[in-house]
Amino acid sequence: MKYTSLPMISKKVQHSVVAVWFSAVCFVLLAPLHAQVTAQTVNIVDEGVPLQATAAGDGQTDASPTVTSLPSPSPESTELANLRAKYRTELSIYRTDEREFSIAKEQYLKLQTLAALESSVQATRKVMLSRTAVLQTYLEILRLMVSNTSGIDVDEKAALIQQLGNGIDRLKTHQQRVEQAVDRNLILASVQDFNTFNTAVVDISYKSLSYIAYGRLQTVYDKTASVKAEVLANVEKEEQNGLRLGEKRRALEEIDRSLASTKQNLDAVRSTFQPTQAGRVQTFDASSYGNTIEKLSTVYAELYRNLSFLREVVSK
């Protein structure tokens, strides 16, 4: 059919008709692509790595329940997710308050009027309150994370949770004090009050972070040792070829040595958390935490290597 030969139809209608047919052709060509993309998405889900829930569901067929009974090194509960959301909101409020405080303080220093003083006192009070809220929620998050992290010695964990609780209580007391600070002198007193314990908050925070990082790797180490024992049992039971059996035994002995080294490194890290023999209490800050993370990174790399070794033994 020739485009110009459409009988008794205006040009506009002709354009519309052609557009409709063109759309139809495009749609027919593109619709299968859409279906293909959807199908691929489904395939990815189906072929992916088994979910943890799935693995747990297979517990009945497990050779040994040791590994599955060990909790995940970094579990994320609903309570923790809620606290994180609260923390994000409070941090956002704090940032706004801090900006307002800076402006108010600058104006006061420039103008030196009573109105500017009143405004800056209120801004200081507000930002101090929002800072306390942020720190309080942060310590609550850490307390929950420490509580959920396996791999930390029970007594040390209890002591840590106690210290975090003390920190939270101290922040609450400070918050009440700031709420009552309505003039310049009371604000100054509140600032002094905060300065008496802010280093303790930093200390307990970095101590908790160090323990959490250590505890997670300790859990993975325990699991690795358990899986290694299972691999050994499987090799002894299944391997028929004597030559290959000897080879695998030697490989597992090498893994044993590597795991022993990893354990030593983990213990060395843990010892830095404890008071020294002279009774000197360790202090924790950003710098010491950096050192701890550096040492734990070595442990992490060793655990990864051990995992590769185990994979090699299993796949041989």
Q: Which of residues 4-33 bind other proteins (CB under 8 A)?
A: 6-9, 13, 16-17, 20-21, 23-24, 27, 31
Distance CA 49, CA 73 (A): 19
Minimum CB–partner distance for residue 31 and other proteins (Å):
6
107 near other proteins (CB under 8 A): no
Minimum CB–partner distance for residue 295 and other proteins (Å):
9
Number of chain residues interacting with other proteins (CB under 8 A): 95
- Identify the residue among 73, 170, 265, 266 touching other proteins (CB under 8 A): 73
Q: Which whole-number Å values give the CA distances from 33 to 19, 27, 29, 39, 223, in the listed order?
A: 21, 10, 8, 10, 45
284 near other proteins (CB under 8 A): no
Nearer Cβ to other proteins, position 65 or 276?
65
148 near other proteins (CB under 8 A): no
Distance CA 251, CA 313 (A): 7
Nearer Cβ to other proteins, position 28 or 278?
28
Neighbouring C-beta atoms of residue 213, cutoff 10 Å: 22
Distance CA 6, CA 14 (A): 7
Residues of span 214-273 touching other proteins by CB under 8 A: 216-217, 219-220, 223-224, 227, 230-231, 234, 237-238
CA 71 to chain centre: 16
**DSSP category for residue 273:** T
42 near other proteins (CB under 8 A): yes
49 near other proteins (CB under 8 A): yes
Q: Are 141 and 83 in contact (CB under 8 A)?
A: yes
Neighbouring C-beta atoms of residue 206, cutoff 10 Å: 20
Q: Which whole-number Å values give the CA distances from 275 to 111, 162, 203, 253, 270, in the listed order?
A: 52, 17, 14, 35, 11
169 near other proteins (CB under 8 A): no
Q: Are 212 and 146 in contact (CB under 8 A)?
A: yes
315 near other proteins (CB under 8 A): yes
- Identify the residue among 182, 260, 268, 314 touching other proteins (CB under 8 A): 314
51 near other proteins (CB under 8 A): yes
Nearer Cβ to other proteins, position 192 or 277?
192
Binding segment for other proteins among 160-168, 197-205, 252-260, 275-283 (CB under 8 A)?
Answer: 197-205
- Burial of 122 (C-beta count, 10 Å sphere; 0-12/13-18/19+): middle
141 near other proteins (CB under 8 A): yes
- Which amino acid type is present at position 228? K
Q: Which whole-number Å values give the CA distances from 70 to 7, 94, 150, 152, 166, in the listed order?
A: 80, 39, 8, 13, 30
Distance CA 19, CA 244 (A): 71
45 near other proteins (CB under 8 A): yes
Residues of span 82-101 touching other proteins by CB under 8 A: 87, 91, 94, 98, 101
Nearer Cβ to other proteins, position 57 or 246?
57
Binding segment for other proteins among 158-166, 243-251, 252-260, 285-293 (CB under 8 A)?
Answer: 285-293
- Identify the residue among 15, 34, 99, 257 touching other proteins (CB under 8 A): 34
- Identify the residue among 128, 129, 164, 171 touching other proteins (CB under 8 A): 128
Q: Are 277 and 240 in contact (CB under 8 A)?
A: no
- Identify the residue among 74, 166, 261, 288 touching other proteins (CB under 8 A): 74
